[in-house]
């Protein structure tokens, strides 16, 4: 269960990370559409688990690795944006959010039954 502060920081990070990745890091995403679906912050606010949904790309794992490689650059840009709200910028950990793929799979299985 997240505290109110964790929830507020998660939403702030989600919004800023989305803007950074979509607007400032187009060279990293290579034309793919990247959506930040969730951000979970640890209770000590030191780590932010960021879940990404990737579209318009054939190799999601390679794109995720490319984003992870540029993690320091992303964290630096995030630090410039949130420097007045947070003392320490959390360490960013990126994960692939496959919940939409899971939903599509369930839908296709249900259609096969009918």
> Taking the domains of the chain in order of start, what are their residue ranges?
4-113
**38/67 Cα distance (integer angstroms):** 16
Q: CA 26 → CA 32, 74, 99, distances in Å? A: 8, 12, 24
Q: What pLDDT score does 101 carry?
A: 66
- Convert the pLDDT of each residue in 15-28 to its tens digit: 999 999 999 998 88
At residue 59's C-alpha, the angle toward residues 100 and 31, to 5°, is 85
- Convert the pLDDT of each residue in 69-111 to its tens digit: 999 999 999 999 999 999 999 999 999 987 766 677 777 777 8
At residue 49's C-alpha, the angle toward residues 37 and 55, to 5°, is 35
Give me the CATH topology for the region 4-113. Answer: GMP Synthetase; Chain A, domain 3 (3.30.300)
Tokens 């650059």, residue located: 73
Q: What pLDDT score does 73 carry?
A: 95
């Amino acid at each position: 269960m997240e505290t109110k502060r964790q929830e507020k920081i998660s939403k702030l990070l989600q919004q800023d990370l989305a803007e950074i990745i979509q607007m400032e890091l187009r060279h990293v995403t290579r034309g793919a559409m990247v959506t930040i679906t969730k951000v979970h912050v640890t209770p000590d606010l030191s780590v932010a688990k960021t879940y990404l949904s990737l579209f318009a790309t054939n190799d999601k794992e390679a794109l995720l690795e490319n984003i992870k490689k540029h993690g320091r650059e992303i964290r630096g840009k995030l630090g410039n944006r949130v420097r007045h709200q947070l003392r320490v910028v959390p360490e960013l950990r990126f994960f692939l959010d496959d919940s939409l793929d899971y939903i599509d799979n369930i839908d296709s299985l249900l259609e096969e039954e009918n």
